[in-house]
Amino acid sequence: MKKNTTLLLLTALLFTGMCSCTGQKKETDEKFRAGWELVWEDDFDEGLNETEWTKIPRGKRLMDRYMSRNDALYLSQEGNLVLRAMENSVPNDTMPFLTGGITRGGLKAGAVARIEVKVRVNPAEGATHFLSLLPADRSKHISIDLMEHFGLDQFIYQSVSSEYTTTGGMAENPPSSSLVGVNPTQYRIYGVEKYPDSLVFFVDDLRTRKYPRILTDMPGQFPFDTQDFQLFLGIRLNKDTDTANLPADLLIDWVRIYKPKEGIE
């Protein structure tokens, strides 16, 4: 989930004046999409269902180093699941912060699929909100980021990373990261479609970018169709985050997974 310093695609003008998703929670989203069949959804009306989701365990990666199962990080609010990042006040826990995050299965290797997540953020300097797909084999340094939001930015990133884009130094051929000028404090629908030869990204039903398979002698350019991916939703914090800026929240309205309707794939 490492970002380019170069902004490769700016689509802010495409979103000027858009009002399909606002700070108010409105259920106007099209659940039955042309060409797609809904196969799974969670609207979080009953809070976090731990038979469907797993709280992200604490680990050594930037994403999970402050993760916790503490119930204060997993709130049910007006039909949203609210994931929280906050100062740690738990006795005998030496970490300075606690962050909430959840994971479940996402994309199967070789499958054509679409994933959508409707969220908004309560931002804080030092906090990063993420909606990401990571390989089930965590030894693979690959990611598909439906959305990353940093600090108080009034835009989000959508990106991919792989051996080709990082150690291979080929983050710009084709462009692996894009900046999308939307207000993330309003409800937005972030989505990605996976095909054997491409990943196609969306915000609020508007296609924002495509990452294609290309002909190249360099290995690992498009590993996204040969791996099972898990969906990770949550917040991470910089180690020097000022606790006065917290809490930060990720408000999740719903998650949906689609497959192509029979005969269309």
Q: pLDDT tens per residue, the chain (265 residues)?
A: 544 444 444 444 444 444 444 455 545 567 888 899 999 999 999 999 999 999 999 999 999 999 999 999 999 999 999 999 999 999 989 999 999 999 999 999 999 999 999 999 999 999 999 999 999 998 889 999 999 999 999 999 999 999 999 999 999 999 999 999 999 999 999 999 999 999 999 999 899 999 999 999 999 999 999 999 999 999 999 999 999 999 999 999 999 999 999 865 5
Domain assignment present for residue 143? The answer is yes
What is the per-residue pLDDT for 34?
87
What is the per-residue pLDDT for 120?
98
CA distances from 207 to 158, 180, 181, 189, 244 (A): 11, 11, 13, 11, 37
Domain assignment present for residue 30? The answer is no
What is the per-residue pLDDT for 230?
97
Q: Compute the distance between CA of residue 263 and CA of residue 65 in angstroms, rounded to an integer.
A: 44
Instruction: Report the number of distinct structural domains present in the chain.
Output: 1
What is the per-residue pLDDT for 265?
55
What is the per-residue pLDDT for 245?
95
Domain assignment present for residue 254? The answer is yes
Domain assignment present for residue 5? The answer is no
What is the per-residue pLDDT for 212?
98
What is the per-residue pLDDT for 138?
83
Entry pTM: 0.89
- Identify any residues that bridge with 206 across adjacent strands, giving them in sequence order: 203
Q: Compute the distance between CA of residue 31 and CA of residue 8 in angstroms, rounded to an integer.
A: 31
What is the domain-level CATH number for residue 131? 2.60.120.200
For 147, residues 6+ apart whose C-beta sits below 8 A from its C-beta are: 117, 119, 129, 130, 131, 156, 157, 158, 184, 188, 190
Domain assignment present for residue 104? The answer is yes
Q: Compute the distance between CA of residue 224 and CA of residue 86 in angstroms, rounded to an integer.
A: 33
Upstream peptide bond of 184 is cis (omega within 30 degrees of 0): no
Contact 152, 123 (CB under 8 A): yes
pLDDT (tens digit, 9 = 90+) per residue, 107-160? 999 999 999 999 999 999 999 999 999 999 988 899 999 999 999 999 999 999
Range of the domain at 165: 12-17+35-260
Domain assignment present for residue 3? The answer is no
What is the per-residue pLDDT for 18?
45
Token pair for 3: 């970002």
What is the per-residue pLDDT for 202?
97
Domain assignment present for residue 210? The answer is yes
Contact 132, 244 (CB under 8 A): no
What is the per-residue pLDDT for 112?
97
Domain assignment present for residue 246? The answer is yes
What is the per-residue pLDDT for 264?
58
Q: Compute the distance between CA of residue 234 and CA of residue 47 in angstroms, rounded to an integer.
A: 15
